[in-house]
Amino acid sequence: MNTHARNIHERRALLSRFGREFLGLHPPTPVRTLDGAGATRRKVYLDATATSLMPTPVWAALDRYFRLACANSHTHAHAAGRETTAAIERARELVGELVGWDPSVDVAIFTGNGATGAANLLAEALFPAPPTQGRDVVLVSKMEHHSNMLPWMRAVGRDRVRFIDTSPDGTLDQACYRRLLEAEGARVAVVAVTGVSNVTGIINPVHELARTAHRAGAEIVVDAAQAAPHVPLDMHPAGDPDGALDYVIVSGHKLYAPGSRGVLIGRRDVFHEDRVVGGVGGGAVDMVSTEEVRWKADVAAREEAGTPNIPGTIALGVVAGMLREIGMDLVREHEVALVDDALGRLSRVPGVVVYGSADTARVPRAGVIAFNVRDLPHGLVAAALWDYFAIAVRNDCFCAQPYVKEQLQLRPDVESSCASEAAACDVEHKPGMVRASFGVFTTRDDVAALDEALTFIAAHAGELRARYVRSAGGDFTHTGAADAPAFSIDDVVAGWAAGG
């Protein structure tokens, strides 16, 4: 657990500085206006749940690394190679500490492709072959991102996965959870739940869920792709061994560290020398001959064959170190104020429907808010937020289709408002929502900008609708001339070739 070396004032000052120091935070951005004149607005990035922006000090750290110590982590003959190896191992410790690991029982394994890579690795480690007897069932909540659902369905087979219901207010249905555990009893091997929903931001009581799972003899996997950037985590809470989390999954690019590193932190003893789960190859072995292979005893080395994503790992280590200095309690405090402000404002915008309980005292939520604007398709609202207000959000089902569909079905007001014009309404034909999500760089001004934009969009629904065409895939494109892209590889190459 984090024992803070700094006092609260120093930590607050660090958080405030950290939040201001991001690349691409508020560049002036051209926007459309209804009269066609156009204008410029400060960009507001409300899509941290998909991928966060990058802190300037992380960029500076990578710059320093590439200038002074760039090398392969498996090279030990020169200083840069050794420093690269040391940086990766330090990153491992810092990420472990961020989630409260116990290095005497846990291992932290870096994977590719973010949290998805880590979840797949764990599912394969726990179920090297589809089980046929014993503990052969996995409980998965209906709140899950597909990345904490599909790996389990593949590992044990669809018919051995049981789904924990969600309640109308978006929370996990604990009675259903207990019922499933009672019914399946000794068959349940694993309970897979998210720490924070990537749709509603609802924070699950993971230690309570862990105690219930452990009483039934099952293990718990917490997908912390959204929890790690937003709330304090403690895999081994003091005095509460039953509340411990067996496995935690982290996603680097959602935690202010670009490069899509995934990290699986959890019980080392599920990995075995005679059954390597990750890719096999260089770095994982002590000895190879044509007759014999001797795998490394160190689990992380064995399961991380090949040259890793070194910049992504270093970025993640630097971020984890910075967040340790700040303390996740303060990150959470910052977000609580923003979320309450945003929920209050959105509740007053005519036609806006927010999903999941807005009573944050009863149902705590992180900085993630999904909503619809009645009478408007979610794709159009998201497009108009960007085109007219330079506010970046995401729409659709956020790779959490079961949960999104359940939440939408529980809102007859949204569905009936669409039924009148089925051809244009993709809440009915293409279920989805708009999602605004926050990070440490999000401010009250950003929330106010969202409020202003949604108020405008709700009031000008008809005029906006007339200015968009919908593609077969459901995306909305403005009928006006498109701006030149701010970034393209071809432009970079052409600029370089021209000597600029």
Ligand X SMILES: Cc1ncc(COP(=O)(O)O)c(C=O)c1O
**What are the structure tokens assigned to 168, written together?**
């109308």
Q: How far is the CB of 262 from ligand X (least distance, A)?
A: 6
Using Cβ positions, the residue closest to ligand X within the complex turns out to be 114
Q: How far is the CB of 378 from ligand X (least distance, A)?
A: 17
Dihedral sign of CA atoms 80, 52, 237, 117 in order: negative
Nearer to ligand X, 119 or 213 (CB): 119
Nearer to ligand X, 198 or 357 (CB): 198
Q: What is the three-class DSSP state of 380?
A: helix
The residue assigned the tokens 């998909």 is 50
The answer for residues whose C-beta is within 8 angstroms of residue 500's C-beta and 6 or more apart is: none
DSSP assignment string, 245-289: -SEEEEEGGGTT--S--EEEEEEGGG-BTTB--S--STTSEEEE-
Nearer to ligand X, 84 or 116 (CB): 116
The answer for residues whose C-beta is within 8 angstroms of residue 459's C-beta and 6 or more apart is: 350
Q: How far is the CB of 223 from ligand X (least distance, A)?
A: 5
Residue 54, class by beta-carbon neighbours within 10 Å (0-12 exposed, 13-18 middle, 19+ buried)? buried
DSSP assignment string, 131-147: --SSS-EEEEETT--GG
Nearer to ligand X, 252 or 377 (CB): 252
Of the candidates 70, 176, 397, 399, the residue annotated as catalytic is: 399
User: 438-469: b or e for each residue (b if 16 or more CB lie within 10 Å)?
Assistant: bbbbbbeebbebbbebbbbbbeebeebbebbe
Nearer to ligand X, 96 or 258 (CB): 258
| Residues 432 and 379 sit within 8 Å (Cβ to Cβ) | yes
- Footprint of ligand X (CB under 6 A): 113-116, 145, 147-148, 194, 198, 223, 225-226, 251, 253
Nearer to ligand X, 109 or 458 (CB): 109
Q: Which residues pair with 251 in a beta bridge?
A: 262
CA distance 147 to 152: 9
CA distance 441 to 138: 37
Angle at which helices 378-389 and 444-459 pack, to 10 degrees? 120
Residue 221 carries which DSSP code?
E
Nearer to ligand X, 52 or 84 (CB): 52
**What are the structure tokens assigned to 57, written together?**
């000090």
Torsion of CA 51, 54, 55, 60, to 10 degrees: 150
Nearer to ligand X, 69 or 99 (CB): 99
The answer for residues whose C-beta is within 8 angstroms of residue 30's C-beta and 6 or more apart is: 38, 39, 40, 483
Q: Verify whether residue 399 is a known catalytic residue.
A: yes
Q: Which residues pair with 248 in a beta bridge?
A: 222, 265
Q: Any idea which residues carry the catalytic annotation?
A: 399
